[in-house]
Amino acid sequence: MDSEERGLLDDKQMLFTLLTAFVKKNGGEIRISEDEMDSVTTRDMVMMYYDRSSKEIILSMKLLNPPSKEQDTIH
């Protein structure tokens, strides 16, 4: 998938693409326990940033430094 194809993804497609990338990065499997799932609440928030200089998507449970020209807030 190239950057043009990524740009055409809707939210659902992007989510599944990110999940697939995580699983591939982790050797093909990620296990999440019931306790881990149950620990997620509506107060938990994941921020998503894009770092243009490193060409990386950054997911964080905390706010990063305010985005610079190198980073664009996605959600």
Please indicate whether residue 31 or residue 65 has the higher confidence score (pLDDT).
31
Same domain, 27 and 9: yes
Confidence of residue 66 (pLDDT cuts 50, 70, 90): low
Tens-digit pLDDT profile for residues 6-15: 777 788 898 8
Same domain, 27 and 47: no
Q: Which residues contact 57 (CB under 8 A, 6 or more apart)?
A: 18, 48, 49, 50, 51, 74
Same domain, 25 and 49: no
